[in-house]
Amino acid sequence: MDIIKVAASSRSTSVAGAIAGMCREHGRAEVRAIGAGAVNQAIKAVAIARGYLALDGIDVICIPAFVDISIEGQERTAIRLVVEPR
């Protein structure tokens, strides 16, 4: 399963479509974001994706967590959002 990486410049509706597609195909989706703008877009995308999936009768929840990742040799802390059926 792929990780959906969100940037501050990401369109929330596009990310929401990716989240909904992964939930339909794999049963869950994982979203990662670094920075306030990216986290904002990611949270909006999860809210939009809930609406998309509700039309199919799928009720999802979001489980947030911190995760340390390495980018160009530097350790960064990202927000990890796991979206899965309730």
Q: Domain count of the chain?
A: 1
Give residue 28's pLDDT.
Answer: 96
Task: Collapse the DSSP code of 86 into the 3-class scheme (helix H, G, I; strand E, B; otherwise coil) and give the result.
Answer: coil
Whether residue 77 contacts residue 64, with contact meaning beta carbons closer than 8 Å, is answered with: no
CATH of the domain at 35: 3.30.110.20
Q: Which domain holds residue 75?
A: 3-85
Distance, in Å, from the CA atom of 62 to the CA atom of 28, rounded to the nearest integer, reads: 10
Report residues of the chain scoring pLDDT below 50.
Answer: none
Distance, in Å, from the CA atom of 39 to the CA atom of 25, rounded to the nearest integer, reads: 24
Tens-place pLDDT, residues 31-41: 999 999 999 99
